[in-house]
Amino acid sequence: MVNKRWTAVAAGILLIIFAGVLAALFPNIMEILINREVSIREGGRAYGWWKEPPVVPHMNIYIYNVTNADEFLNNGDKPILQELGPYVYLQKWDKTNIKFNDNGTVSYNVRKRFEFSEELSSGSEDDLVVVPNVPMLSATSQSRHAARFLRLAMASIMDILKIKPFVEVSVGQLLWGYEDPLLKLAKDVVPKEQKLPYDQFGLLYGKNGTHPDQYTIFTGASDISKYGMMDRWNGKDGFKHWTTDECDNVLGGDGSIFPPHINKDSKLKVFDKDLCRTLPLVFKEEVMAEGDVPGYRFVPPKDVFAAADRISSQSCYCPAGPPCAPEGTFNVSRCQYDSPVLLSFPHFYLADPTLREAVIGISPPNEEKHQFFIDVQPLMGTTLRARARIQINLAVSQVRDIKQVASFPDIVFPIMWFEDGVDGLPSHVTSLLKMAVDVPPIARAALSGALAAAGAIVLLGALLCLARAAKHQEKLHLSTPLPPGASKQGNINPGFQGSMK
């Protein structure tokens, strides 16, 4: 019986120790479970959401309509711009040609389909706008270092084809493509190896429904720290445009998933082939998404598009040397067939104020409306909400030998800006994320608390039983009758004591 009680004492102590060990190791156990759950693998819960995202991204497009093109060209007036929009497109994304590789990566193509929403838009795709003639101004800007007779020949060709620095096109044509006489001419006369891969011009030409690019990302199965990060783009591990490996590598997420277990010191990276680089993001603030799911908001650093003469590390993005892109803009001409395209944030947010002051009609930038941000659930690495906001500008250079643009000053001319975003996740997704956030701490407290309480009860009960048993034994010892002639004071015979006296 005594042995059983001591066994109960040992069991109680072991339960209390196990409760402490469980409390200490529970976060690690949950981390292992989360890592397995979010990794991209066939049959996994995350795989279906990754393959066909359960969201409908919206792309809101704003066009800068030029209202005084003639006065700008003939009189030198500042261009007056009228911001039109938003023109809203609903998107459907899915991944095709999925192939898992032996090195912990998966390769695939992305198919994006855009559907115009007249109900959500402030205008129609048939709206006419006057915008800079991007093919022409790109050609003239590129020719400024060519021989003079070539520039004069270009001016004659443009005269014959009646090409002007501004064109009037519909919104649909500007975005999705229209026939351009210069591109048509180039198709006929330019050598095959130098031809452009398209015969129409559109700011989003060739992006609706096509999916030629191959992406290879890490699944997270072998290294969770690279989960969702790009390993190869079209078989390459870099853009092959920039002067350092750090600037040139493609290691970044697509903006929908990031490695789990994010903290406020984490630096996230977003890969975007149109941006021609990865965009770093840093923590800004804590947010609360729909369904009371907590998240962290990450935004680009304020110096992400800093001028190379101000921050020397940016010189890697200016391989040709000065002059480099102005403060707050990024030169993507190397991945836009040498067209002098500069990207910035909308309304020249975080850019040199003189860029916005060179035109009339663009209101001062507003952080809430024009900042690029992504809200991420830090435990799972899942994007909760996003606003990818970018403005497309054309860096126009004056070329005096081409009469059509002889009066066109050096200017960064804004053309449009877009906001590509997701407002939130479906309720069935947010409810699972909420459970993933709320349940583990409760389960940890409940399990470790229950085990500790059970151990304490068993230990206390066993100790009480042992104490009662010891007391009972003592009573039995005190109440036992003395043998004949024994004394309570040492069992000495009284007669013997008298004889001693």
Band the pLDDT of 306: cuts 50, 70, 90: very high
Tokens 């002067």 locate to: 243
Nearest-5° Cα angle at 456, 453 to 460? 145
Helix (H, G, I), strand (E, B) or coil at 149: helix
Helices 148-161/134-142 angle, 10° precision: 160
* Calpha distance 46→38 (Å, rounded): 6
pLDDT score recorded for residue 116: 97
* Mean pLDDT of the region 69-84: 94
| Predicted structure pTM score | 0.84
Tens-place pLDDT, residues 204-237: 988 888 778 999 999 998 888 899 999 999 999 9
Q: 335 exposed, middle or buried (CB, 10 Å; 0-12, 13-18, 19+)?
A: middle
In terms of pLDDT, which residue wins out, 439 or 167?
A: 167
Nearest C-alpha neighbor of 39 from the set 29, 53, 49, 26: 49
Q: Is the peptide bond before 323 cis (omega within 30 degrees of 0)?
A: yes
Q: What is the DSSP letter of 406?
A: T
Residues whose CB falls within 8 Å of the CB of residue 307, separated by 6 or more in sequence, listed in order = 314, 324, 325, 326, 327, 352
Tokens 């096109």 locate to: 169
Band the pLDDT of 292: cuts 50, 70, 90: confident
pLDDT score recorded for residue 498: 45
Tens-place pLDDT, residues 128-187: 999 999 998 988 888 877 777 777 888 888 888 888 999 999 999 999 999 988 887 776
Helices 181-189/134-142 angle, 10° precision: 50
Res 321 pLDDT > 90: no
Query: Average pLDDT of the chain?
Result: 84
* Calpha distance 262→447 (Å, rounded): 26
Nearest C-alpha neighbor of 176 from the set 108, 263, 251, 116: 116
Check if the beta carbon of residue 298 is closer than 8 Å to that of residue 374. yes
* Calpha distance 51→294 (Å, rounded): 25
